[in-house]
Amino acid sequence: MTMAVTKLRVEEKLYQNRYLVDPGRPHIKVRPHERPSANLLALTHICPAKCYELNDKGQVETTSDGCMECGTCRVLCEASGEIVWNYPRGGFGVLFKFG
Amino acid sequence: MIEQEFDAIVVGAGMSGNAAAYTMASQGLTVLQLERGEYPGSKNVQGAIMYADMLEQIIPDFRDDAPLERHLVEQRFWVMDDTSHTGMQYRSDDFNEAKPNRYTIIRAQFDKWFSRKVRQAGATVLCETTVTELVRSASGKVIGVRTDRAGGPIYADVVVLAEGVNGLLGTRAGLRKMPKPESVALAVKEMHFLPDEVIEQRFGLQGDEGCVIEAAGTISRSMAGLAFLYTNKESISLGIGCLVSDFAQTMESPYVLLDNFKNHPSIRPLIAGSEVKEYSAHLIPEGGYKAIPQLFGDGWVAVGDAAQLNNAIHREGSNLAMTSGRIAGEAIIEIKGRNQPMIRRNLALYKTMLDKSFVVKDLMKYKDMPALIHTNSRNFFMTYPQLMSQAAQNFMRVDGTPKIEKEKATTAAFIRARSRWGLISDVVRLALAWR
pLDDT, tens only, B3-37: 789 999 999 999 999 999 999 999 999 999 999 99
Is residue B116 assigned to a domain? yes
What confidence tier does A9 reach under pLDDT thresholds 50, 70, 90? confident
Minimal Cβ distance to B251: which of A42, A48, A71: A42
pLDDT, tens only, B44-92: 999 999 999 999 999 999 999 999 999 999 999 999 999 999 999 999 9
Q: Same domain, yes or no, for B323 and B380?
A: no
The answer to whether B210 and B231 are in contact (CB under 8 A) is: yes
Q: What's the total number of domains in chain A? A: 1
Q: Same domain, yes or no, for B146 and B199?
A: no
Domain of B417 in residue numbering reads as 369-434
Structure confidence at residue A6 (pLDDT): 72
What confidence tier does B376 reach under pLDDT thresholds 50, 70, 90? confident
CATH code assigned at B271: 3.30.9.90
Q: Same domain, yes or no, for B58 and B170?
A: yes
pLDDT, tens only, A25-84: 999 999 999 999 999 999 999 999 999 999 999 999 999 999 999 999 999 999 999 999
Cα-only R_g, chain A: 13
Which of B228, B258, B285 represents a domain boundary (last residue)? B285
ipTM: 0.96
Single pTM value for the model: 0.96
Minimal Cβ distance to A16: which of B252, B278, B283: B278
Q: B416: exposed, middle or buried (C-beta count within 10 Å: 0-12, 13-18, 19+)? A: exposed
- Reply yes or no on whether the pLDDT at A1 is more than 60: no
The answer to whether A31 and B280 are in contact (CB under 8 A) is: no
Q: How far is CA A7 from CA A66, B97, B262, in A?
A: 12, 47, 18
Is residue B79 assigned to a domain? no
Nearest alpha-carbon partner for A44 in A93, A10, A17, A20: A10
Is residue B87 assigned to a domain? no
CB spacing of A72 vs B180 below 8 angstroms: no
Q: Same domain, yes or no, for B244 and B189?
A: yes
Q: Same domain, yes or no, for B304 and B172?
A: yes
Domain of A77 in residue numbering reads as 3-94
Helices (H), B59-126: 107-120
Structure confidence at residue B115 (pLDDT): 98
The answer to whether A48 and A31 are in contact (CB under 8 A) is: no
Which of B235, B267, B285 represents a domain boundary (last residue)? B285
Q: What is the mean pLDDT of residues B247-269?
A: 97
Contact list, A91 vs chain B (CB under 8 Å): 36-38, 127-128
Q: Same domain, yes or no, for B127 and B245?
A: no
Chain B: give the shortest CA distance to residue A28, in Å.
13
Which of B365, B388, B420 represents a domain boundary (last residue)? B365
Q: Same domain, yes or no, for B152 and B228?
A: no
Q: Same domain, yes or no, for B315 and B351?
A: yes
Name the closest residue on chain A to residue B275, using Cα atoms. Answer: A16
Q: What is the DSSP string of B224-275?
A: SEEEEEEE-SSEEEEEEEEEHHHHHHH---HHHHHHHHHTSTTTHHHHTT-E
Do the bridges between strand B131-136 and strand B142-147 make them parallel or antiparallel, or are there none, so unpaired? antiparallel
